[in-house]
Structure 1
Protein backbone atom coordinates (compact mmCIF):
# COMPACT_ATOMS: atom_id res chain seq x y z
CA UNK A 1 0.00 0.00 0.00
CA UNK A 2 2.81 2.39 0.92
CA UNK A 3 4.54 1.70 -2.41
CA UNK A 4 1.38 2.42 -4.32
CA UNK A 5 0.87 5.73 -2.52
CA UNK A 6 4.54 6.67 -3.03
CA UNK A 7 4.33 5.80 -6.74
CA UNK A 8 1.08 7.72 -7.13
CA UNK A 9 2.53 10.75 -5.25
CA UNK A 10 5.66 10.72 -7.43
CA UNK A 11 3.63 10.52 -10.64
CA UNK A 12 1.34 13.33 -9.43
CA UNK A 13 4.37 15.55 -8.58
CA UNK A 14 6.07 14.91 -11.93
CA UNK A 15 2.83 15.71 -13.75
CA UNK A 16 2.52 19.15 -12.12
CA UNK A 17 6.23 19.99 -12.41
CA UNK A 18 6.22 19.30 -16.15
CA UNK A 19 3.14 21.41 -16.92
CA UNK A 20 3.64 24.53 -18.99
CA UNK A 21 1.19 27.23 -19.82
CA UNK A 22 1.12 29.89 -22.52
CA UNK A 23 3.77 32.62 -22.50
CA UNK A 24 2.61 35.76 -20.71
CA UNK A 25 2.64 39.26 -22.14
CA UNK A 26 6.04 41.01 -22.37
CA UNK A 27 6.95 43.43 -19.59
CA UNK A 28 7.62 47.14 -19.91
CA UNK A 29 11.04 48.40 -21.00
CA UNK A 30 13.17 49.93 -18.26
CA UNK A 31 14.52 53.46 -18.10
CA UNK A 32 17.29 54.18 -20.61
CA UNK A 33 20.78 54.02 -19.14
CA UNK A 34 24.37 53.53 -20.11
CA UNK A 35 25.06 49.92 -21.11
CA UNK A 36 26.53 47.81 -18.34
CA UNK A 37 26.13 50.42 -15.63
CA UNK A 38 22.38 50.32 -15.00
CA UNK A 39 22.49 54.13 -14.95
CA UNK A 40 24.76 54.21 -11.89
CA UNK A 41 27.42 56.86 -12.12
CA UNK A 42 30.15 57.56 -9.62
CA UNK A 43 33.14 59.81 -9.50
CA UNK A 44 36.79 59.38 -8.65
CA UNK A 45 39.32 62.08 -7.94
CA UNK A 46 42.75 62.15 -6.41
CA UNK A 47 44.23 64.88 -4.22
CA UNK A 48 48.00 65.23 -3.85
CA UNK A 49 49.94 67.11 -1.17
CA UNK A 50 47.40 66.57 1.62
CA UNK A 51 48.81 67.89 4.90
CA UNK A 52 47.48 67.15 8.36
CA UNK A 53 47.18 69.56 11.30
CA UNK A 54 47.94 68.38 14.83
CA UNK A 55 45.17 68.90 17.40
CA UNK A 56 46.89 68.68 20.82
CA UNK A 57 43.74 68.45 22.97
CA UNK A 58 42.66 65.34 21.04
CA UNK A 59 46.16 64.00 20.31
CA UNK A 60 45.36 63.44 16.66
CA UNK A 61 46.00 64.87 13.22
CA UNK A 62 43.20 66.06 10.98
CA UNK A 63 42.72 67.02 7.35
CA UNK A 64 39.34 68.16 6.03
CA UNK A 65 38.76 68.22 2.29
CA UNK A 66 35.66 70.04 1.03
CA UNK A 67 34.10 68.32 -2.00
CA UNK A 68 33.25 71.53 -3.87
CA UNK A 69 36.98 72.38 -3.93
CA UNK A 70 37.61 69.27 -6.04
CA UNK A 71 34.41 68.27 -7.82
CA UNK A 72 30.95 69.45 -8.79
CA UNK A 73 29.61 65.91 -8.29
CA UNK A 74 26.77 66.01 -5.76
CA UNK A 75 27.29 63.74 -2.77
CA UNK A 76 24.01 62.51 -1.32
CA UNK A 77 23.41 61.27 2.26
CA UNK A 78 23.19 57.59 1.22
CA UNK A 79 26.31 57.68 -1.00
CA UNK A 80 29.50 55.97 0.09
CA UNK A 81 32.79 57.84 -0.05
CA UNK A 82 35.69 55.40 -0.22
CA UNK A 83 39.12 56.82 0.61
CA UNK A 84 42.28 55.14 -0.68
CA UNK A 85 45.80 56.12 0.35
CA UNK A 86 48.67 55.83 -2.11
CA UNK A 87 51.34 53.43 -0.88
CA UNK A 88 53.87 52.99 -3.69
CA UNK A 89 54.40 52.07 -7.32
CA UNK A 90 55.46 48.51 -8.06
CA UNK A 91 57.27 47.30 -11.16
CA UNK A 92 56.53 43.88 -12.59
CA UNK A 93 58.91 41.49 -14.35
CA UNK A 94 57.53 42.51 -17.75
CA UNK A 95 58.56 46.12 -17.05
CA UNK A 96 55.00 47.42 -16.49
CA UNK A 97 54.15 49.41 -13.39
CA UNK A 98 51.09 49.80 -11.21
CA UNK A 99 50.20 51.93 -8.21
CA UNK A 100 49.29 50.37 -4.87
CA UNK A 101 46.25 51.98 -3.20
CA UNK A 102 45.07 50.96 0.27
CA UNK A 103 41.52 51.48 1.49
CA UNK A 104 41.46 53.35 4.78
CA UNK A 105 41.03 52.82 7.69
CA UNK A 106 44.58 51.61 7.70
CA UNK A 107 47.00 51.04 10.58
CA UNK A 108 50.76 51.53 10.72
CA UNK A 109 53.14 50.22 13.33
CA UNK A 110 55.86 52.70 14.30
CA UNK A 111 58.70 52.43 16.83
CA UNK A 112 56.48 54.22 19.38
CA UNK A 113 53.23 52.33 18.81
CA UNK A 114 50.34 52.15 16.37
CA UNK A 115 48.73 54.91 14.29
CA UNK A 116 45.64 54.66 12.17
CA UNK A 117 44.21 56.72 9.30
CA UNK A 118 40.40 56.84 9.49
CA UNK A 119 37.93 58.61 7.18
CA UNK A 120 34.56 60.16 7.86
CA UNK A 121 32.35 62.13 5.49
CA UNK A 122 29.27 64.28 5.19
CA UNK A 123 27.56 65.43 2.01
CA UNK A 124 29.92 68.42 1.95
CA UNK A 125 33.35 67.13 2.99
CA UNK A 126 35.54 64.25 3.99
CA UNK A 127 37.64 64.26 7.15
CA UNK A 128 40.71 62.07 7.52
CA UNK A 129 42.11 61.57 11.00
CA UNK A 130 45.37 60.09 12.20
CA UNK A 131 44.97 58.68 15.70
CA UNK A 132 47.36 56.61 17.75
CA UNK A 133 48.04 54.87 21.03
CA UNK A 134 50.87 57.22 22.06
CA UNK A 135 51.70 60.96 22.04
CA UNK A 136 51.51 61.95 18.37
CA UNK A 137 52.91 65.48 18.78
CA UNK A 138 56.20 64.40 17.19
CA UNK A 139 54.83 62.02 14.58
CA UNK A 140 57.16 61.78 11.57
CA UNK A 141 56.21 64.05 8.66
CA UNK A 142 56.21 61.04 6.30
CA UNK A 143 52.78 60.30 7.83
CA UNK A 144 51.44 63.86 8.12
CA UNK A 145 52.68 65.86 5.11
CA UNK A 146 52.36 65.53 1.34
CA UNK A 147 50.02 62.54 1.37
CA UNK A 148 48.20 61.32 -1.75
CA UNK A 149 44.60 60.12 -1.50
CA UNK A 150 42.02 58.91 -3.99
CA UNK A 151 38.33 59.40 -3.30
CA UNK A 152 35.65 57.30 -4.95
CA UNK A 153 32.09 58.51 -4.57
CA UNK A 154 29.82 55.49 -4.94
CA UNK A 155 26.11 56.28 -5.36
CA UNK A 156 23.89 54.75 -2.69
CA UNK A 157 22.22 52.19 -4.95
CA UNK A 158 25.66 50.81 -5.90
CA UNK A 159 27.24 51.15 -2.45
CA UNK A 160 25.42 48.06 -1.21
CA UNK A 161 26.53 45.92 -4.17
CA UNK A 162 28.86 43.02 -3.55
CA UNK A 163 32.04 44.68 -4.78
CA UNK A 164 35.49 44.13 -3.33
CA UNK A 165 35.79 47.65 -1.94
CA UNK A 166 39.38 46.98 -0.83
CA UNK A 167 40.31 46.94 -4.53
CA UNK A 168 40.11 50.38 -6.11
CA UNK A 169 40.28 48.72 -9.54
CA UNK A 170 37.23 46.56 -8.80
CA UNK A 171 35.25 49.55 -7.52
CA UNK A 172 36.14 51.73 -10.51
CA UNK A 173 35.46 48.90 -12.96
CA UNK A 174 32.02 48.24 -11.43
CA UNK A 175 31.09 51.86 -12.15
CA UNK A 176 32.61 51.88 -15.63
CA UNK A 177 35.43 54.24 -14.61
CA UNK A 178 38.99 53.96 -15.91
CA UNK A 179 42.26 55.59 -14.98
CA UNK A 180 41.51 58.24 -17.63
CA UNK A 181 38.43 59.28 -15.59
CA UNK A 182 40.48 60.14 -12.49
CA UNK A 183 40.62 63.88 -11.86
CA UNK A 184 44.06 64.63 -10.43
CA UNK A 185 44.35 67.68 -8.19
CA UNK A 186 47.44 69.06 -6.45
CA UNK A 187 46.95 71.31 -3.43
CA UNK A 188 50.25 73.15 -3.99
Structure 2
Protein backbone atom coordinates (compact mmCIF):
# COMPACT_ATOMS: atom_id res chain seq x y z
CA UNK A 1 0.00 0.00 0.00
CA UNK A 2 2.85 2.42 0.79
CA UNK A 3 4.34 1.89 -2.70
CA UNK A 4 1.10 3.20 -4.26
CA UNK A 5 0.90 6.17 -1.89
CA UNK A 6 4.39 7.55 -2.63
CA UNK A 7 3.80 8.19 -6.38
CA UNK A 8 0.47 9.84 -5.55
CA UNK A 9 2.16 12.21 -3.07
CA UNK A 10 4.85 13.05 -5.66
CA UNK A 11 2.17 13.92 -8.25
CA UNK A 12 0.27 16.12 -5.74
CA UNK A 13 3.50 17.93 -4.80
CA UNK A 14 4.29 18.52 -8.49
CA UNK A 15 0.81 19.96 -9.09
CA UNK A 16 1.20 22.41 -6.20
CA UNK A 17 4.65 23.38 -7.50
CA UNK A 18 3.26 24.00 -10.98
CA UNK A 19 0.60 26.37 -9.59
CA UNK A 20 3.13 28.95 -8.44
CA UNK A 21 4.47 31.65 -10.71
CA UNK A 22 4.71 35.35 -11.15
CA UNK A 23 1.71 37.43 -10.22
CA UNK A 24 -0.32 38.85 -13.06
CA UNK A 25 -1.20 42.50 -13.58
CA UNK A 26 -3.55 44.35 -11.22
CA UNK A 27 -7.17 44.23 -12.36
CA UNK A 28 -9.46 47.21 -12.95
CA UNK A 29 -10.89 49.27 -10.08
CA UNK A 30 -14.18 47.85 -8.79
CA UNK A 31 -17.36 49.84 -8.18
CA UNK A 32 -17.66 52.09 -5.12
CA UNK A 33 -18.86 50.10 -2.11
CA UNK A 34 -21.13 51.06 0.73
CA UNK A 35 -19.58 53.46 3.25
CA UNK A 36 -17.91 51.50 6.03
CA UNK A 37 -19.87 51.21 9.25
CA UNK A 38 -22.51 53.57 7.85
CA UNK A 39 -25.13 51.80 9.90
CA UNK A 40 -23.48 51.06 13.20
CA UNK A 41 -26.56 52.11 15.09
CA UNK A 42 -29.07 54.86 15.62
CA UNK A 43 -30.23 56.65 18.73
CA UNK A 44 -32.76 59.24 19.78
CA UNK A 45 -33.96 60.74 23.04
CA UNK A 46 -37.61 60.46 23.96
CA UNK A 47 -38.49 63.24 26.41
CA UNK A 48 -41.56 64.26 28.35
CA UNK A 49 -42.97 60.76 28.69
CA UNK A 50 -45.88 60.62 31.13
CA UNK A 51 -47.35 57.36 32.38
CA UNK A 52 -50.98 57.44 33.52
CA UNK A 53 -53.90 55.16 34.31
CA UNK A 54 -55.79 56.16 31.13
CA UNK A 55 -53.00 54.60 29.04
CA UNK A 56 -52.42 51.66 31.42
CA UNK A 57 -49.08 53.23 32.42
CA UNK A 58 -47.78 52.60 28.90
CA UNK A 59 -46.28 54.93 26.31
CA UNK A 60 -45.91 53.72 22.72
CA UNK A 61 -44.35 55.25 19.62
CA UNK A 62 -43.86 54.15 16.01
CA UNK A 63 -40.29 54.14 14.64
CA UNK A 64 -41.50 56.22 11.68
CA UNK A 65 -42.74 58.92 14.09
CA UNK A 66 -39.26 59.06 15.60
CA UNK A 67 -37.79 59.13 12.07
CA UNK A 68 -35.55 56.11 12.55
CA UNK A 69 -35.38 52.96 10.49
CA UNK A 70 -35.42 49.86 12.68
CA UNK A 71 -35.40 46.44 11.06
CA UNK A 72 -37.22 43.55 12.67
CA UNK A 73 -33.88 41.79 13.18
CA UNK A 74 -32.26 44.80 14.91
CA UNK A 75 -31.72 44.87 18.65
CA UNK A 76 -33.49 47.68 20.47
CA UNK A 77 -32.01 48.99 23.70
CA UNK A 78 -33.87 51.51 25.82
CA UNK A 79 -32.20 53.41 28.64
CA UNK A 80 -33.95 55.57 31.22
CA UNK A 81 -32.32 58.81 32.33
CA UNK A 82 -32.02 57.94 35.97
CA UNK A 83 -30.07 60.83 37.41
CA UNK A 84 -27.69 63.66 36.64
CA UNK A 85 -24.26 63.76 38.26
CA UNK A 86 -21.70 66.53 38.37
CA UNK A 87 -18.35 65.71 36.76
CA UNK A 88 -15.71 68.44 36.56
CA UNK A 89 -18.35 71.13 37.03
CA UNK A 90 -20.59 69.72 34.30
CA UNK A 91 -23.89 67.90 34.83
CA UNK A 92 -23.94 64.55 33.01
CA UNK A 93 -26.86 62.13 32.69
CA UNK A 94 -26.82 58.65 34.19
CA UNK A 95 -28.51 56.06 31.94
CA UNK A 96 -29.89 52.68 33.06
CA UNK A 97 -30.87 49.90 30.67
CA UNK A 98 -34.46 48.65 30.74
CA UNK A 99 -35.87 46.61 32.30
CA UNK A 100 -35.11 48.59 35.44
CA UNK A 101 -36.41 47.53 38.84
CA UNK A 102 -36.78 49.96 41.71
CA UNK A 103 -37.90 49.26 45.25
CA UNK A 104 -40.21 52.09 46.30
CA UNK A 105 -42.25 52.64 49.47
CA UNK A 106 -45.28 50.90 47.94
CA UNK A 107 -43.37 47.81 46.71
CA UNK A 108 -41.50 46.87 43.54
CA UNK A 109 -41.72 49.04 40.42
CA UNK A 110 -40.40 47.94 37.02
CA UNK A 111 -39.82 50.06 33.92
CA UNK A 112 -39.90 47.70 30.94
CA UNK A 113 -40.59 47.71 27.21
CA UNK A 114 -41.73 45.57 24.33
CA UNK A 115 -41.41 46.01 20.59
CA UNK A 116 -42.79 44.99 17.25
CA UNK A 117 -41.40 45.53 13.78
CA UNK A 118 -43.11 48.96 13.57
CA UNK A 119 -43.17 50.34 17.12
CA UNK A 120 -42.23 49.93 20.74
CA UNK A 121 -43.93 50.56 24.09
CA UNK A 122 -42.43 51.49 27.43
CA UNK A 123 -44.55 50.49 30.40
CA UNK A 124 -44.62 50.33 34.16
CA UNK A 125 -45.50 47.25 36.15
CA UNK A 126 -45.61 46.79 39.90
CA UNK A 127 -46.75 44.53 42.69
CA UNK A 128 -49.00 47.34 43.97
CA UNK A 129 -51.65 49.68 42.57
CA UNK A 130 -49.82 52.09 40.24
CA UNK A 131 -52.42 54.78 41.01
CA UNK A 132 -50.70 55.19 44.40
CA UNK A 133 -47.29 55.82 42.82
CA UNK A 134 -45.69 59.25 43.23
CA UNK A 135 -45.51 61.40 40.09
CA UNK A 136 -41.71 61.48 40.37
CA UNK A 137 -41.81 57.97 38.86
CA UNK A 138 -44.49 58.59 36.24
CA UNK A 139 -44.17 62.14 34.90
CA UNK A 140 -41.69 63.83 32.55
CA UNK A 141 -39.45 60.78 32.07
CA UNK A 142 -36.62 60.74 29.51
CA UNK A 143 -35.47 57.66 27.61
CA UNK A 144 -32.65 57.08 25.16
CA UNK A 145 -33.52 54.55 22.46
CA UNK A 146 -30.67 52.81 20.63
CA UNK A 147 -31.20 50.54 17.61
CA UNK A 148 -28.33 48.16 16.86
CA UNK A 149 -28.12 46.24 13.57
CA UNK A 150 -28.40 42.47 13.94
CA UNK A 151 -25.09 41.90 12.15
CA UNK A 152 -23.22 44.23 14.54
CA UNK A 153 -22.37 41.33 16.86
CA UNK A 154 -21.01 39.36 13.91
CA UNK A 155 -18.69 42.22 12.91
CA UNK A 156 -16.97 42.48 16.27
CA UNK A 157 -15.09 39.91 18.27
CA UNK A 158 -15.13 41.82 21.56
CA UNK A 159 -17.92 41.35 24.08
CA UNK A 160 -19.98 44.42 24.89
CA UNK A 161 -21.80 45.15 28.15
CA UNK A 162 -25.05 46.60 26.81
CA UNK A 163 -26.06 47.76 30.29
CA UNK A 164 -23.12 50.21 30.18
CA UNK A 165 -24.43 53.04 28.02
CA UNK A 166 -21.00 54.70 27.76
CA UNK A 167 -19.50 51.48 26.35
CA UNK A 168 -22.37 51.15 23.86
CA UNK A 169 -22.01 54.81 22.83
CA UNK A 170 -18.28 54.36 22.24
CA UNK A 171 -18.59 51.10 20.30
CA UNK A 172 -21.40 52.44 18.09
CA UNK A 173 -19.60 55.76 17.67
CA UNK A 174 -22.68 57.69 18.76
CA UNK A 175 -22.10 61.44 18.75
CA UNK A 176 -24.06 62.88 21.70
CA UNK A 177 -24.38 66.23 19.95
CA UNK A 178 -26.15 64.59 17.00
CA UNK A 179 -28.68 62.46 18.89
CA UNK A 180 -32.11 63.86 17.98
CA UNK A 181 -34.84 64.48 20.53
CA UNK A 182 -38.45 63.39 20.11
CA UNK A 183 -40.93 64.96 22.50
CA UNK A 184 -43.71 62.67 23.70
CA UNK A 185 -47.24 63.70 22.80
Q: Normalised by the size of structure 2, how large is the TM-score?
A: 0.74
Gaps of 5+ in 1: 1-21
User: How many residues are aligned here?
Assistant: 160
1:174 to 168, 171, 174: 171
Distance 1:43 1:137, change over 3 A: same
CA distance in 2, matches of 1:173, 1:121: 25
Distance 1:187 1:134, change over 3 A: closer
Does residue 62 (structure 1) correspond to residue 58 (structure 2)? The answer is yes
Does residue 115 (structure 1) correspond to residue 109 (structure 2)? The answer is yes
1:183 to 168, 180, 184: 180
Gaps of 5+ in 2: 1-19, 24-29
Q: CA deviation at 1:127?
A: 0.8
Moved over 3 A (4+): 31-35
CA contact (8 A) 1:163 1:171 kept: yes
2:135 to 141, 148, 151: 141
Does residue 86 (structure 1) correspond to residue 87 (structure 2)? The answer is no
Q: CA deviation at 1:70?
A: 1.2
CA contact (8 A) 2:106 2:133 kept: no
